[in-house]
Structure 1
């Protein structure tokens, strides 16, 4: 997995990879279904080592440390996934790391997510739990959070622990309390919490969606009001602090879209517009280094766009774009303490991506990790940005992926709505549409109304409250595919995950004739049950508001209308899912069987909403492919 080539910035010489024999359906499913081979990489403070998370058998996760001088790797700790998995590791010193593990367990009848923080040496020795030990293991969901990684010299980090914040020596576990006593917040990058937030609750302790933010003047302990943000997201929401300039960055709506502002933390609260796009929301700020220094912002139109504030990184990004012309989506991921060594990730729609190390002193660019090595050399499909008209004339953005070498005429096709619904698809490599394109399908990913990123008018409250509009847009994506001659009317299927699974099912309630096969992964199927499943949690009021009430809730629950289905249904669900409880799929499956319809539910024991297991994902792709092939008449591919 260590890099195979090294170039000087401005030139790139990669030898062509020999074309392999045409893969079989099973080898394709295994290649695309495999978990990412390297995730959450981070450079050591001195820039000589790299830590990342690698998958093992089943749900096993392993923290690997790579010596960047020779590419050798050492496993330093692991988690078996029953229930904990390693999520990421960061460096508290050049020879010491802090790793986050999380998992799902059943407590008093409810499934709860919980996490733990562990410190370990870079050679795997001297492991030490860092979290608070004041509560019992059964009810202590979270150890805390690293708020500031500090300088990376002595192994000290600022973290929330118990009911407050502490500067913790990760070698001994001993901490020194700091003020204010917070569990989360934004720091100045040097160990001082500058902004904190308090979630609003009602008299019963239920979250109401409102948040109040407070800030501190430099060197002062008292707090001053920063902002109130209401349940609709109106108000200044902080996203980062720049301690060197004594300001915060915050997002706030402008003309119905999220814009980025700078806010002085000197007592004046002087607020200036940094960037606003006339068509889409600002997505996030770009940060780098141990102090999460803000170097730019990100927004997404048809593709991801990054505006760099930092002149040095702007120039570097421009040079990298020339050096890596086939990897057009480039992002800075991590850096050494002095930022002389920078880790970046580069991908495109037809390349699943590479991690590179750039050395500012030598101007050398070295490939260090290939997260999806099984796909190297495979001809992937271009992901085209298109728009199509909805029934009311609104132009809906979408991505269209055709099989490699296909003319895109009269072929089997799949409509693939995204999850969320408070989400959107983003241009770049995507394992699901790429797999089905390899199997001969045209895939359209509609950014239906209810998707985020396009402003509040496009979001239409959300995809549940405004489900008739969102589902109408999904159906119109299929109708457009037929009208364009891309899909034959009798060879059109639909595939969705989470809310996308809901959309796939509900589309067949609205128009039972359009789709000939339905695949839904971890779908919502009953809006009343979705509200009921949240009743024991503090977000119950927010879920109820998101789903709404009245006749549209009943009409928007596909398990109530199973008799309308004409297409066969295949569903997949993990039994440890806490995003969408497995009862949702069971209700749908039972309703379809009672109505005499074709339905099959495949359950993956021990897996959550993401089905983050190579064998399970390979099985999902294999069975979904076979299901579509049998019903969309794709035999022969």
Structure 2
């Protein structure tokens, strides 16, 4: 496929100009890595004529819509809005899905929560931007769930769930249930109507929308017993079962629209299954057996199953339509040597947005035109000079018990991979996995002379049910030694200097960083924990209380983490007296996933023992580092800390990074 090198004519061109200007510098400033990506996400309209982009132009973050000739036809300042998704409903409106951290006040089981909103952005001149459920006195708490969009009678409708209030007038309304109901929202007028009632208190309900915009199926899951029932749109039961750990969900309509696909997870083995059953009832059958699904694709108009991407080291695409499969294959082949992700496509599947990583590529976004055979770059996520992008590869090593572990290794660009200082960087989750690609955090440290290993320890997704299930009950145990076994492998290969190793991570990775200097000793010169768990027993108690004592959650936590005295045995805060390495704790004050107190308590415990500890509070930041200012503050603090206690070899010249200069010692 021919690559057409024309760039968007509007201000995104400055991204490439800046990258060229920095090419002469030895180290890119931390601000380039630490701020939100200059090009965050993009979506293509159903016709393929328009592209919606969220990115930073100059010093302002914006939504930009471009036309057929790549000209900007619409712009909207976004500021610090926390964008969670971006999609189209027709060619004349964009929907932005966002969240805000909100204080709940008295009477709630949690003091804060992340509440979601859907913002409808009409592109017509003079039309007002509005929010779903805006001004609806019978709705509270924003959008609780999004179930897609459908076109009917030439109009577009969106399907959202929300908690409802009942009563007479606006001032007399009261909360009956915290379970959401389902609404159809007219995306032209903003009017809404309830089409699905909320469930009983112990029941969690979700819906599937059919091709015409009606309820195709309803799933009711009873938390106390684990029993579940799926009914079709006519209210007839078409499937039932039991899942003690909540392993049941509606996936979507089958490829022909006459069947339903639901997913189950076996309580004992952890194996996942996709089951297909006729919507009008009948015999069910398993599909895609022994395939772990990373992404699934559905038609925006009909909701029908188009294809999937299996979990693995690099993206693969399987479409049921032969033409779509050929186009997907051709697109991947057009970028030899790169990791290619298909981010979006139009209805005709002849214009696609692809994202490339690797091969000196700091994540480039492309508009692929199948008819013309052109691929045009529309932006880069990070303005890092190609020569400074560290090489990334997947490695495999044996854990101490013989289990094969995969990991992503990022190395400094232009340096011999021998005797390097190293950072072990376990991922969060822990049910997640790292893949080969441009990781802003890993690349920032690789640019400063460090080898960075991101191990996919047991308990990670992407390697089958047995591997994921093997992490149950192994917090601080085999999951932890899987990480340090990766360090041993790099030392054995001559890549890493065993005397210059640190461990860092966020969320579960932050827990692993703390466990690396408490439950383990003598391996790491320092530890950096961002939003990390220090007291597992307190985490379990908090999750239980904030869920209102949900039985499914309690069972799941006991299976995954453990219970009783075992929780104390794997809690880093109980072993601060063993710490011999400096510790950096970083935590967002608005974190609703791992509570701020987890780091606050750990810092206090370390100080009482006279240990070397630094604690950085990120004001107005959540669990996901969603704001540029605080994300950069985290990276600056982490870089300064690591370079102080585990200095890398001298670089050609220091980076200009402000508080944390990036200068190696």
TM-score (norm 1): 0.86
Are 2:68 and 1:51 equivalent residues in the alignment? Answer: no
Look up the SS of the partner of 2:95 in the other structure: strand
Cα distance, 1:418–1:590 mapped onto 2, change above 3 Å: same
Residue of structure 1 in register with 2:228 after alignment:
212
- Higher alpha-carbon deviation: 319-328 or 536-545: 536-545
Cα distance, 1:142–1:309 mapped onto 2, change above 3 Å: same
Cα distance, 1:144–1:240 mapped onto 2, change above 3 Å: closer
Distance in 2 separating the partners of 1:121 and 1:482? 56
Residue of structure 2 in register with 1:10 after alignment:
none
Is the 2:503–2:516 Cα contact (8 Å) retained in structure 1?
no
Distance in 1 separating the partners of 2:313 and 2:377? 28
Matches within 5 A, 1:16-165: 20-23=22-25, 27-54=28-55, 62-76=62-76, 78=78, 80-81=80-81, 85-108=82-105, 110-123=111-124, 125-131=127-133, 140-142=141-143, 145-150=146-151, 153-160=154-161, 162=164, 164-165=181-182
Look up the SS of the partner of 1:32 in the other structure: helix
Unaligned runs of 5+ in 2: 8-15, 165-179, 200-204, 652-665
Matches within 5 A, 1:582-621: 582-621=596-635
Cα distance, 1:623–1:166 mapped onto 2, change above 3 Å: closer
Residue of structure 2 in register with 1:330 after alignment:
341
- Higher alpha-carbon deviation: 326-335 or 569-578: 326-335
Residue of structure 1 in register with 2:457 after alignment:
448
Distance in 2 separating the partners of 1:514 and 1:606? 34
Distance in 2 separating the partners of 1:516 and 1:387? 24
Distance in 1 separating the partners of 2:196 and 2:456? 44
Matches within 5 A, 1:495-506: 495-506=504-515
Cα distance, 1:176–1:310 mapped onto 2, change above 3 Å: same
Look up the SS of the partner of 1:475 in the other structure: helix
Cα distance, 1:390–1:244 mapped onto 2, change above 3 Å: closer
Is the 2:458–2:470 Cα contact (8 Å) retained in structure 1?
no
In the TM superposition, what whole-angstrom CA distance separates every residue of 1:14-68 from its partner, at most 9, and x where no partner exists? Answer: 99x969545355x43111112123334222233222223335899x864322223
Among candidates 354, 362, 371, match of residue 364 of structure 2 = 354
Residue of structure 2 in register with 1:531 after alignment:
540
Cα distance, 1:514–1:602 mapped onto 2, change above 3 Å: same
Is the 2:518–2:575 Cα contact (8 Å) retained in structure 1?
yes
Per-residue deviation, 1:562: 0.6
Cα distance, 1:437–1:94 mapped onto 2, change above 3 Å: same
Residue of structure 1 in register with 2:377 after alignment:
367
Distance in 1 separating the partners of 2:58 and 2:562? 42
Among candidates 492, 497, 503, match of residue 494 of structure 1 = 503
Distance in 1 separating the partners of 2:36 and 2:194? 40
Is the 2:183–2:194 Cα contact (8 Å) retained in structure 1?
yes
Residue of structure 1 in register with 2:314 after alignment:
303
Per-residue deviation, 1:229: 4.8
Are 2:221 and 1:199 equivalent residues in the alignment? Answer: yes
Q: What's the RMSD between the two structures over aligned residues? A: 3.2
Distance in 1 separating the partners of 2:467 and 2:565? 23
Residue of structure 2 in register with 1:205 after alignment:
none
Residue of structure 1 in register with 2:192 after alignment:
175
Look up the SS of the partner of 1:514 in the other structure: coil
Distance in 2 separating the partners of 1:452 and 1:73? 41
Cα distance, 1:269–1:39 mapped onto 2, change above 3 Å: farther
Residue of structure 1 in register with 2:646 after alignment:
632
Cα distance, 1:499–1:413 mapped onto 2, change above 3 Å: same
Is the 1:148–1:189 Cα contact (8 Å) retained in structure 2?
no
Cα distance, 1:632–1:160 mapped onto 2, change above 3 Å: closer
Distance in 2 separating the partners of 1:629 and 1:102? 35
Unaligned runs of 5+ in 1: 7-13, 203-207
Is the 1:130–1:143 Cα contact (8 Å) retained in structure 2?
no
In the TM superposition, what whole-angstrom CA distance separates every residue of 1:123-142 from its partner, at most 9, and x where no partner exists? Answer: 573123321755588x6243
- Higher alpha-carbon deviation: 255-264 or 612-621: 255-264
Cα distance, 1:331–1:338 mapped onto 2, change above 3 Å: closer
Are 2:394 and 1:385 equivalent residues in the alignment? Answer: yes
Distance in 1 separating the partners of 2:542 and 2:530? 18
Are 2:240 and 1:238 equivalent residues in the alignment? Answer: no
Look up the SS of the partner of 1:405 in the other structure: coil
Alignment coverage as a number of residue pairs: 607
